[in-house]
Structure 1
Amino acid sequence: MHDERPVGGDLYYGEDLTYCDAENLRSFLTARTALLADSARGSDERLAARSVRTAALMLDATLEHCLSLQQTHERNHPTVRAQVTISWNALCSLAQPWMHNRDYDHTRWRLVKYWNRNHEREIEEKLRGLNSKE
């Protein structure tokens, strides 16, 4: 189990996501697709750029909404937590082909598996329980 938060601001838990993370990742994707977006109207390149940008914008909007609930009790609602995690992981997946780009933030743009330390423990306990029944 992951007992300590990684040093240097590495993202590990979903509860540590900020809107700034989503905004930075979307900006990165916009910059990566700039050349394609300037391709000839109707070309596959331009349409691919539009697809990536539209998906990133939609995921970013979902994250903005869910993360705005940070100051309310709704932030920890299982549905909101799941929506944040799913949207973030999808946004990261869009950017992963560029992971060798020098502007890619390996410390923050990571897939998240758990919402927080307690969630991680709960899942691990459930898995141990399932394995002990076999």
Structure 2
Amino acid sequence: MKPRHPHRSEDCRAVSAVLQRVGDKWTVLVVSMLGDGPMRFNELRHAIGGISQKMLTTTLRNLERDGFVTRTVFPTIPPRVDYELTGLGRELLVPVTALGDWARANIDRINSARDRFDATAQP
């Protein structure tokens, strides 16, 4: 018997690999913040709140490695480093913004569903 979708498992792996990078909360928040233009590390850290220096560094490096963010060092004293979305990063901003909009529009419905579920869930 011939499989219905011969490339399905390969497609799932590819999608999974990309979503693993772009689907975590810190990536979504960093991309959202950079959607307004370049920012310095500490500006990002303060704007996001709750993110450690190590996690922001890791997130930015991963985004840079994957081509979503550029890092520009300016030869000043002290050195100034700006982070900015690339073309690919700006494309990612479209679904990230849509997801954020959807989450804000539906948070009350989600919380109500959780409350209903929790009220009837067996211990």
Calculate the TM-score normalised by the size of structure 1: 0.28
Query: Greater CA radius of gyration, 1 or 2?
Result: 2
Higher relative contact order (CA 8 A, sep 6+): 1
Calculate the TM-score normalised by the size of structure 2: 0.30
Structure with the higher strand share, 1 or 2: 2
